[in-house]
Amino acid sequence: MSDLFEQLKDQIKDDKKSIVFPEGLDDRILQAASQLGAAGVLQPILIGNREAVQGKAAELEVDISNCEVIDPRDYAAFHAMVDAFVERRKGKATKADAEKILLDENYFGTMLVYMNEADGLVSGAAHSTADTVRPALQIIKTKAGIRKTSGVFIMARKEEKYVFADCAINIAPDSQDLAEIAVESARTGKLFGVEPRVAMLSFSTKGSAKSEETEKVSAAIGLAKEKDPGLLIDGEFQFDAAFVPEVAVKKAPDADIKGDATVFVFPSLEAGNIGYKIAQRLGGFEAVGPILQGLNKPVNDLSRGCSVEDVYHLALITAAQAE
């Protein structure tokens, strides 16, 4: 386990957060929840039929005695949850609708977080990103002043840590979106010990090319400074000008960032997704995430190809966000 996660364990151990895992029958979820419960760093809550979850754990020979198991079909406060859901949806769901919807494990788990019965949620091992994010957007919603949620990766390699955004959610962000992503990504970076120096990436450095795409990125910088006047942000940069001091001297000698960026905001989802996977597969970085940001409470999405270690790590991050 990298230094990042040892730091997170120390950060959260004194204030044991409860994290919901809606996919209580998934092998990887059960194994990770067992490890987290045994380590005592957080309280895992598994959602599913109690007998089925316990039977699956026995089959896998994992100990879930330190985990709480909740079955939506016999949850004592289910009717109160139904009422709270109807109120939250503001006329978009009837009581009858809610009684059906809340049998869905992701909606049920998200409501536990909304009702302060849990501190955060991790899902996506067996569900699509949409299945995880949709309930969060409908119930937990984005923070005041935030238009959209976004997804970042913490890229870790030994002592190195960087933030890459948005690599998961927004396909074609406009200038306002990019500004919002930059500010939120800087905040996320601080949470994980990254001193934020934000580079807005493009195929151009400081006007070396002109197009709608480069001007969109350039405009986002001023908007981000309006949102957070203390933010250290600059661009637009090609990646080498943002990351390599010798290149920065040549391409952007007057920039506030001198090839020492730590938070990288990509101009589109395709660029961000390709970029983090290149760093992961060719650069040997551990890609932790996607970490969803901008929500009122932490909800995070796993890849369906995730490992037990991925689940463990994202649960630690979710608990840290809940701090």
- Domain co-membership, 134 together with 181: no
Same domain, 16 and 125: yes
The helix-helix angle for 50-60 and 27-39 (nearest 10°) equals 80
**In a domain? residue 55:** yes
Q: What is the pLDDT of residue 2?
A: 60
Examine the domain organization and report whether 245 and 305 are in the same domain: no
Residues 309 and 258 in one domain: no
Residue 292 domain flag: no
* Residue 219 within a domain: yes
In a domain, 291, yes or no: no
Token pair in block for residue 5: 């996660």
* Residue 34 in tokens: 């067992």
Pair 136, 7 in one domain: yes
Question: What pTM value is reported for the model?
Answer: 0.85
Report the pLDDT value the prediction gives residue 61, as an integer from 0 to 100.
Answer: 95
Retrieve residue 275's tokens: 């970029």
**Per-residue pLDDT at 1:** 44
Answer yes or no: is 124 within a domain: yes
- What pLDDT is recorded for position 209? 87
DSSP E strands in the chain: the ranges are 17-21, 42-47, 68-70, 120-123, 150-157, 160-165, 198-201, 233-237, 263-265, 286-293, 299-301
Instruction: Tell whether 110 and 137 lie within a shared domain.
Output: yes
The CATH number for 162's domain is 3.40.50.10750
CA 301 to chain CA centroid, Å, is 7
Q: Same domain, yes or no, for 81 and 36?
A: yes
Judge if 115 and 241 occupy the same domain.
Answer: no
User: Are both 308 and 191 inside the same structural domain?
Assistant: no
Task: Please check whether residues 303 and 280 belong to one and the same domain.
Answer: no
Kindly state whether residue 194 falls inside one of the protein's structural domains.
Answer: yes
- The CATH number that applies at residue 75 is 3.40.50.10950
Q: Name the residue range of residue 26's domain.
A: 3-141+297-322
Q: Strand pairing of 17-21 and 120-123?
A: parallel
Q: Per the domain annotation, does 101 fall within a domain? A: yes
pLDDT of residue 266: 97
Question: Comparing C-alpha atoms, which of 31, 9, 120 is closest to residue 309?
Answer: 31
Q: Say yes or no: 162 and 276 in one domain.
A: yes
One pLDDT digit (tens) per residue for the chain, 323 residues:
467 777 788 778 778 899 999 999 999 999 999 999 998 889 999 999 999 999 999 999 999 999 999 999 999 999 999 999 999 999 888 999 999 999 999 999 999 999 999 999 999 888 888 889 899 999 999 998 888 999 999 998 888 999 999 998 899 999 999 999 999 999 999 988 899 999 999 999 987 888 988 999 999 999 999 999 999 999 899 999 999 999 999 999 999 999 999 999 999 999 999 999 999 999 999 888 789 999 999 999 888 888 999 899 899 999 999 87
Same domain, residue pair 278 and 303: no
Q: How far apart are CA 243 and CA 257, in angstroms?
A: 9
Domain count, the chain: 2
DSSP string of 113-181, one letter each residue: HHTTS-SEEEE-SSS-HHHHHHHIIIII-BPTT----EEEEEEEETTEEEEEESSSS-SS--HHHHHHH
